[in-house]
A and B are shown apart, each in its own frame.
Chain A
Amino acid sequence: MSKIFLILFTLVFTENYVLVQFLGICPFLGVSQKFSSCIGMSGAVIFVMTLASAVTWGIYQALMIPFGLQFMRTIIFILVIAALVQLVEITLKKFMPPLYKALGVYLPLITTNCAVLAVTILNIDNSYNFLESCVSGFSAGLGFSLALILFCGVRKSLELAHPPKCFEGLPISLIAAAFTSMTFMGFTGMAENMFGG
């Protein structure tokens, strides 16, 4: 049980995918301008990461280990995740139109997002079991949402600030992202102390 919490805490705070491991920076900068789109993107990422973790774990154990295809995991995972996201999108469109409207635009954006791919590969590298993989996917998504929503607030105040002309727009956002990332360095070492990991 404590391992589950360790994974959760680690991936949300100490090894946050966006702010510490620098994965998924594209949507992090792309959709952090509006709070509503942040929420939509966060929901989509949590959903896809959890689902992708579960499915790729199954495929890895059932197909790739018996045939000795571990070296092919990047390609196979990209293929599986892309097909999965597409399938989910079609299903949502048919059966849950409100959810499709909320997540729909963001789902294709994260089809082969590096953060989603990373979570599936790191699950394998850390030799997690099925439950741990799912939790890892979920908490990586949660960490992504936390970073996205925090940074959305930072960007809101950036709109009102007056940086030097040459820093306006993306440059100052990147600097602000660096500061946000530095604050997360404060969590380093906390997880080990809390859970004795």
Chain B
Amino acid sequence: MAAILNAVWILAAIGAVCAVLLILASKFMYVPVDEEFPKIRECLPGANCGACGYAGCDGYASALASGDETAINKCVAGGDAVAKALAEATGAEFADVIEQVAIVRCSGDCNTVKNKEEYQGLKSCAAAKLLYGGPSMCVYGCIGLGDCEKICPEHAIRVVDGLAHVNFRACIGCGMCVRTCPNHVITLMPDVERVIVGCSNHDKGANTRKACSKGCIGCHKCEKECPAGAITVVDNLSRIDYDKCIDCGHCQEVCPVGCVHFRDFRGAHTHPEGTR
């Protein structure tokens, strides 16, 4: 009987001492948790894409909660809806989010671009890139093994004929594909623009031509014809100054290789048929 009683009271005593210690510890070493944080975190989509410049949604939310960050329009993936919710939660003034879309700066599919080697390894652009810069003769272009397709949270990217295509109506502009692409072919662009140069090749025209029939050869034709003077050729590649561009689409008509694309690039947030 004594043994049982001993066991009971010693266990109870140890439990009580632990409890008292823990209570004291939580009293004296209480770290105040920002009450704003969970409220703000709830507004964010939780994609952890990093488009805001912070390491995930938690990072952005804690920066907003602590007051280090005041801009509530940094969540590109969430668009205006999230910015509105954030404005309500923080009491800051609503600011418009500049919605972005991912643009594949390459037009060369397997019919237009030539291969210098046959690649039979792992089905990943990053792996193919390690082997002599990729199988294609153009080392600037899309490798087409679909690393971006795999990482896209909205399944907005499809690789067709060895070239990544973005379904802009599903694209939320998070930029995960941009960071994944080993050739940096994909870039983000405000989705209000209408014209893009679909090529990244900086080689001289003749060399570009040998590798791909749709590559920008730097012929300056668009530069001369552009009524707004918005296009310049830098390092054998056309570049559009969107501050000057008037969205006329004339460059697409004059481009001899067809690497300038004029169309509606509005993404998931702003397109009337968008998914968000």
Contact = CB atoms under 8 A, between A and B. Distances in A.
Contacts of A80: 14, 18
A86 B19 CA distance: 11
Given A69-B10, A72-B11, A90-B25, A79 B18 contact: yes
A68 B3 contact: yes
A83 B122 contact: no
A150 interface: no
Nearest to A67: B6
B22 A83 contact: yes
A93 interface: yes
B111 interface: no
Given A69-B7, A72-B7, A87 B14 contact: no
A69 B22 CA distance: 24
A90 B23 CA distance: 10
A95 B30 CA distance: 11
B14 A69 contact: no
A75 B10 CA distance: 12
Contacts of B18: 79-80, 83
Given A68-B6, A94-B31, A79 B21 contact: no
A83 B3 CA distance: 25
A59 B11 CA distance: 11
Interface in B1-59: 3, 6-7, 10-11, 14-15, 18-19, 21-22, 25-26, 29-31
A76 interface: yes
Interface of A: 59, 63-64, 67-69, 72, 75-76, 79-80, 83, 86-87, 90-91, 93-95, 160
Interface of B: 3, 6-7, 10-11, 14-15, 18-19, 21-22, 25-26, 29-31, 122
Given A80-B18, A83-B22, A94-B31, 12 more contacts: A69-B7, A72-B10, A76-B10, A76-B11, A79-B15, A83-B18, A83-B19, A83-B21, A87-B21, A90-B29, A93-B31, A95-B29
